[in-house]
Homo-oligomer: A and B are copies of this chain.
Amino acid sequence: MRRLTIKDVAEIAGVSTSTVSRVLSDSPLVSDDTRKKVLKVVRELNFSPNVVARALKKRESSTIGLLVPDIVNPYFAEIARGVEDIAHKSGYSVVLCNYDADTEKEKKYLQVLLQRQIDGLIYAGSGLLAGSIVNLLQAGIPTVLLDRDTSEILDVDTVCIDDESAAQLAVDHLISLGHREIAVLSGPEYLNSSRGRLAGYKLSLARSAIDFKPELVVSGPFTTEAGFELVTKLVRSGARFTAVFAMSDMMAIGAIKGLQRLNLRVPEDIAVVGFDNIKMSELITPELTTVAQPMYELGSQAFAILKERLDARHSERQRIVLKTRLIVRDSCGANLRTDKLSLA
């Protein structure tokens, strides 16, 4: 039950292992006759070469690491799918790592990935990274960040969205529906994306000459629980607002739950916009109006530019910004209005 090696193939085909290796890697340095002869044996034996041995010799493992906070989070699941699909098509395997936004875990995973001689890394963002990632870059492992990288020191490829203008899509929509008191459920403050989205929010307000009220901005993790609690606290605090801009769909969904629990109707009493457009957003009631992020493309693009790096086709730093768009559904009442209008 020993696994076959190119040596076995070589013997049967009556050639050397060098030749078999050349055939298997499509080298032009083989005559057609020999090539056919070898391929015949390969097929008959159903032989497939040992990738580990190849990796050792070539110092390329055709493996990449994918670090995500948590694959259970549908946002990262879609990204992962995008990465894996394209990676597989290009002959790469992806090692999945859930680091839970935990610096210790992150360090441990990075170490393991290094030992495994991964060719590259895709890092989906807790935004905490700086520390450990730097080691990787020093070790010369091509890395792509799925997040805007603000530090100009860190010379790394990135794929991201334009958080600022994406947020404006959401806020402008609310404003166009007549809202002027718009609460914000922000993600963690240390995240670039939270900051960018908040900046977009302020910009939209300013353009419509609405005062920015800091007391309407609260922040927490991108979870339903946080959405629920933040909105509840906000209402109980007596803050006045007619709409909520949540920086993730999970938060928005939690917020809607919270509002309903307080006997406030969405969208009649309070409008809610989300962010991400995860599948769940169109399954809840009311269906969520949200800013769609192209998660799958975020992942597939990340792999694509990583691949370019690996093939040494690009040496300058690349930064790709993908488009977002507003998906109007029911949670802001936009459709209600048009209904009314069409009745009038």
Binding site for B on A (CB under 8 A): 1, 48-53, 55-56, 61, 63, 66, 70-72, 74, 77-78, 80-81, 84-85, 88, 93-98, 109, 111-112, 114-117, 140, 224, 253-254, 257, 260, 279-280, 283-285
Contacts and interface: CB of A to CB of B under 8 A. Distances in A.
Contacts of A117: 50-52
Given A72-B74, A72-B279, A84-B98, 12 more contacts: A1-B140, A71-B71, A71-B81, A72-B77, A77-B77, A85-B98, A93-B112, A95-B96, A96-B96, A224-B283, A260-B285, A284-B284
Contacts of A260: 285
Given A72-B77, A140-B1, A48 B114 contact: yes
Given A50-B115, A52-B52, A283-B257, A71 B80 contact: yes
A39 B52 CA distance: 27
Contacts of A279: 72
A55 to B, nearest CB: 5
Contact of A94 (B51, B85, B96): B96
Contacts of A96: 66, 80, 84, 94-96
Contacts of A94: 95-96
A224 to B, nearest CB: 6
Contacts of A114: 48
A138 B145 CA distance: 41
A208 to B, nearest CB: 32
Contacts of A71: 71, 77, 80-81, 84
